Amino acid sequence: MVTALETEVARLRGLLERRDAMLAALAEVARLLSIHRDPRMQMTQMLAVLGEAVQVSRAYIFVNLTPDDDHAVISQVAEWVAPGITPQIDNPELQNLPFAEAGYGRWERLLTQNQVVYGKVADFPASEQELLVAQDILAVVVAPIFVGSKWWGFMGFDHCTTDHTWDEVEVEALRSAAVMFGAALYRREMEEQVLAAQREALRELSTPLIPITDDVVIMPLIGTIDSGRAQLVMETLLDGVAQQQARLVILDITGVPVVDSQVAQALIRAAQAVKLLGARVMLTGIQPQIAQTLVHLGVDLSGIQTQSSLQAGIAAALQG
């Protein structure tokens, strides 16, 4: 005969086993989020790890499409389902859903306050039950995802076979998973901002435009010029001529080790574009080996004024 003590010990053992499984799942989630630069690429695998550990029927992520608006519009973007459970990822009712208008104003209020929504569907207000029942959901827990201070969306977990009573360990573990995912998204957002700033700094360094008089500017080019940088040269030249109303742009290629046909054509196109704005281009710093290459390639520089050095170019420019 099973005693009350034995029953309680078995219950506690089960709780400990589930706690250990959830801790292991959170550790795996942390690992997954650390190995990929974009955490969104790990959403489905992360949900599978969590869903299996907590033994739910369905796990999913919704994104708030209007984070700067007072009224959220949400869409499901990832899902994992247990065997035998109907997926909802292609359910059109779960795309571009006005949250409050659909009857989930209470959820929106709680989630934006960084609170978890959970319980048995039968205990929810009637306005919330229809859409959940249509998905066979009997019990649900939804944890907010914040990226910095913005409510990005939520992570949800369903029971579709039993009206499960969520315990505190489960709720806190799933909240932790949502917090970890939000932190990973925020880290990526910060990295993107740093990279963007670095790209802009490199852009400015790689194609500097230096005024030497009111109507003469210099662009010293150093290093290899590929198609991407050639486009930057073009854009910077045109913007500089327009903003500074320059009549002459001195392109100094003393620091360019190789000029091939692609680079030569880029320089010619830049000169032609500048001419359309009423200015002209002077090319300086042509090394002997580069001059030989240009002759060999048959590049026509007849429309571009040239000088042997930057100093000679500046002197010529100042003489008018």
How many other CB atoms sit within 10 Å of the CB of residue 2?
Answer: 7
Distance CA 83, CA 76 (A): 20
Cβ atoms of residues 250 and 219 within 8 Å: yes
Cβ atoms of residues 252 and 218 within 8 Å: yes
Q: Which amino acid is residue 191, in one-letter code?
A: E
Distance CA 74, CA 190 (A): 24
Residue 84 backbone class (left: φ over 0; alpha: ψ -120 to 50; beta: rest): left
* Partners of 63 in beta bridges: 75, 153
pLDDT of residue 113: 95
pLDDT at 203 over 60: no
3-class DSSP assignment, residue 183: helix
pLDDT at 84 over 90: yes
Query: Each residue of 126-144: pLDDT tens digit?
Result: 999 999 999 999 999 999 9
Cβ atoms of residues 242 and 211 within 8 Å: no
**Token pair of 117 as six digits:** 């929504």
Highest mean pLDDT among 155-159, 182-186, 243-247: 155-159
pLDDT of residue 200: 64
Question: What are the chain's domains?
Answer: 4-195 (3.30.450.40), 210-318 (3.30.750.24)
Distance CA 104, CA 87 (A): 21
Instruction: Label residue 231 by pLDDT band (50, 70, 90).
Output: confident
Helix H segments across 42-167? 43-54, 105-112, 126-134
Instruction: Label residue 206 by pLDDT band (50, 70, 90).
Output: low
Cβ atoms of residues 99 and 74 within 8 Å: yes
Distance CA 315, CA 320 (A): 9
| Chain mean pLDDT for the chain | 86
Helix H segments across 91-167? 105-112, 126-134
pLDDT at 2 over 60: no
Dmax (CA) of the chain: 110
